[in-house]
Amino acid sequence: MTTETRSGCPIQHSADEPKLDFGGTTPYEDYVHAATLHELQWPVTDEPLERSFLVVTQVMELYFGLLAFDLRYARDRLAADDVRAGTTALYRCVLHVKALRAAWLPIARMTPREFNAFRDALGEGSGFQSAAYRQVEFLLGEKSASMLVPHRSVPAQHAELSRALGEPGVYDAALALLARRGHAVPDDVLNRDLTRPYAPSPAVEEVWAKIYATDDGEPLRLGEALTDVAEEFTGWRHDHLMATRRAMGAKPGTGGSAGVSWLEKRARRELFPELWTARSHV
């Protein structure tokens, strides 16, 4: 039994019980700022499912930021020739995307009538306007200068994304590492315009095919980690497509896109393409 004193009053609790009195806010609140998080939902309708939509969207936004953080970390570790740490970070990214995919479930199970009850409240808001999501796409090699346009009115955000547009993605770092280890990654790939989307290279396909046919070490494990990230992220895009189809059919998107048809095109885009095509030559 232990005894504490607050304002002259003894407080007793046994050793196997958690501490309950902290004389102010709890250490959990000080660290997590949970009260702040719970004050960030501002529904503009009386529809109960709008709060669900807001919370899920905010959870996704937090995961976009976390995913971007670990993709940058993986890229930087690969640039420093620390393949083990880079690969470990990539596998963390796989788990982040799995959590993002699970987050679609509450939205995907809304009927069209339930979603339409608050959809007008979104106005022109759309997830493709997320700066954190744009960071993720840039790090995965999905570069597009036009996607900077929605962020022009927020100078700091625009500057950060402009910088990210011209920086190597995680696949660029992986290919540069392979080149440093003697693999025949061509100069035009290593010195490509980083502001443009990555384009498949037959020579890079040959590099991965050779690795998969003959290598059991770090390059192979790196290739598999990158493949897992690509597969899971493609799955997330497909989940987005299916959730949208269930909730709103073929209506135009809130951000002015073509909605489902635009998402279908995005879902067909392949990350790290040679990691997929090389398998046919092993």
DSSP letter for 18, please. P
Query: Mean of the per-residue pLDDT values for the chain?
Result: 89
Convert the pLDDT of each residue in 63-73 to its tens digit: 999 999 999 99
Tell me what percent of the residues of the chain surpass a pLDDT of 70. Answer: 90
Range scoring the smallest mean pLDDT among 54-58, 201-205, 214-218: 214-218
pLDDT in tens, 245-274: 887 776 665 555 556 776 777 767 889 999
Instruction: Give, in order, the Cα–Cα distances in Å from 192 to each of 60, 167, 169, 272.
Output: 32, 11, 12, 15
Q: What angle do CA 156, 159, 165 make, to 5 degrees?
A: 145
140 in Cβ contact with 170 (< 8 Å): yes
Say yes or no: domain 52-248+257-281 is CATH 1.20.990.10.
no
Q: Which amino acid is at 244?
A: T
Indicate the annotated binding residues.
119, 240, 254
Confidence grade of residue 232 (pLDDT, cut at 50, 70, 90): very high
CA distances from 178 to 83, 181, 222, 223, 229 (A): 10, 5, 10, 11, 18
**Is the pTM for the entire model greater than 0.85?**
yes
Residues at the binding site for heme are 240
Question: How far, in Å, CA of 133 to CA of 136, rounded?
Answer: 5
Do residues 125 and 155 lie in contact, with contact meaning Cβ atoms separated by under 8 Å? no
- Is there a contact between 81 and 45 (Cβ–Cβ < 8 Å)? no
Q: Residue 158 is inside which H or E element, if any?
A: helix 155-165
Alpha helices (H) in 80-153, listed in sequence order: 83-108, 112-119, 131-139
- For the segment 179-195, the average pLDDT, to the nearest whole number, is 97
Q: Which of 46-60, 118-132, 234-248 has the lowest mean pLDDT?
A: 118-132
Span 81-94, pLDDT tens digits? 999 999 999 999 99
Cα 214 from Cα 183, distance rounded (Å): 13
Q: Give the residue-averaged pLDDT of 157-177.
A: 96
Work out the pLDDT band at 121, boundaries 50, 70, 90: confident
CATH 1.20.58.480 domain residues, the chain: 52-248+257-281
Q: What is the mean pLDDT of residues 121-125?
A: 76
List residues forming the annotated binding site for substrate. Answer: 119, 254
